[in-house]
């Protein structure tokens, strides 16, 4: 459980730091970023929000583009952003977009050759939180959020582990990956042909059958070029109605898939999480 500090930057009275560590689950060296608000300087333990990024991103995208540090410092919450997949010269990859390095899809791969390294579900749910709680002043309260592929990961992880998270949110999530090209490509490679195994990583499938709820917020741009054929976020409404899931789904006219959407509404997401983390 050792970690190595890569970089340190002072920000809004707190600290943005990057670390590397060897992951026993992923069988490779991983990197994550953490923002620690100024409250930790006084010895206070703070709640944490885990952020899961999209295809081809690293831990740096959200921390550098979203403008999250000012409000995180005000609210007294830590932010943790892991990488989106295993990395390294000996890690199997795919030349096509949406599979391999940068695109772990937050599942536990069962199919060779992916299953040796691509266990991102277990990494985010178990290994990374243990690492964070061991090395940083984090209390028992946590939330999870993400964008696109990361929004898919955040929603699935929260619904499968409702006892672990006080809240969940997503921007432009891949809501029904079983029935869209991005998801079908990744699930076939990582999980094989058994569609029953796919359902355990499909937000709409999980939400329709949910018995235990985590308060959820989703924001989607209506001018997102991926909305109709890949994200299908509107299907979330029907899934939530089927089980009575506490979902707040917000549609935004003229917004697209980019970080302009995220930076425009990240304050509402952080305040949403803080309201549940501080209960």
Alpha carbon distance 101, 87 (integer Å): 6
| Residue 243 known to be catalytic | no
Gap between the Cα atoms of 62 and 259, Å rounded: 8
Catalytic annotation present for 252 = no
Q: Is 276 a catalytic residue?
A: no
Looking at 224, 233, 269, 273, which residue is catalytic? 224
Catalytic residue among 117, 147, 257, 269: 257
Which residues are paired to 144 by β-bridges? 50, 168
The end-to-end CA distance of the chain, in Å, is: 31
* Active-site annotation holder among 148, 167, 172, 175: 148
User: For tokens 């990488």, what's the residue?
Assistant: 83
Count helices and strands (H / E) in the chain: 10, 9
Q: Which residues are catalytic?
A: 148, 224, 257
């Amino acid at each position: 459980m050792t970690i190595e500090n890569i970089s340190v930057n002072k920000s809004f009275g707190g600290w943005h730091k990057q670390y590397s560590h060897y992951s026993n689950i992923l069988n490779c060296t991983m990197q994550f970023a953490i923002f620690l608000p100024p409250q930790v300087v006084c010895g206070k333990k703070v709640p944490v929000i885990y952020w899961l990024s999209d295809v081809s991103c690293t831990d740096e995208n959200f921390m550098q583009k979203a403008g999250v540090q000012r409000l995180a410092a005000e609210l007294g919450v830590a932010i943790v952003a892991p990488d989106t997949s295993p990395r390294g010269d000996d890690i199997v990859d795919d030349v096509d977009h949406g599979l391999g390095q940068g695109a772990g899809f937050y599942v536990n791969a069962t199919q060779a050759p992916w299953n040796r390294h691509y266990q991102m579900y277990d990494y985010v749910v178990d290994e990374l939180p243990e690492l964070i709680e061991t090395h940083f002043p984090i209390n028992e309260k946590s939330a999870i959020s993400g964008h696109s592929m990361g929004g898919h990961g955040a929603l699935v992880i929260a619904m499968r582990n409702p006892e672990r998270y006080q809240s969940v949110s997503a921007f432009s999530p891949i809501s029904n990956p079983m029935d869209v090209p991005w998801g079908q490509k990744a699930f076939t490679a990582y999980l094989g042909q058994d569609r029953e195994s796919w359902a355990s990583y499909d937000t709409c499938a999980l939400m329709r059958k949910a018995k235990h709820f985590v308060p959820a917020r989703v924001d989607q741009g209506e001018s997102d070029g991926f909305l109709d054929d890949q994200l299908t976020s509107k299907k979330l409404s029907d899934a939530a109605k089927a089980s009575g899931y506490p979902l707040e789904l917000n549609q935004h006219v003229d917004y697209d898939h980019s970080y302009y959407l995220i930076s425009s509404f990240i304050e509402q997401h952080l305040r949403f999480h803080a309201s549940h983390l501080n209960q």
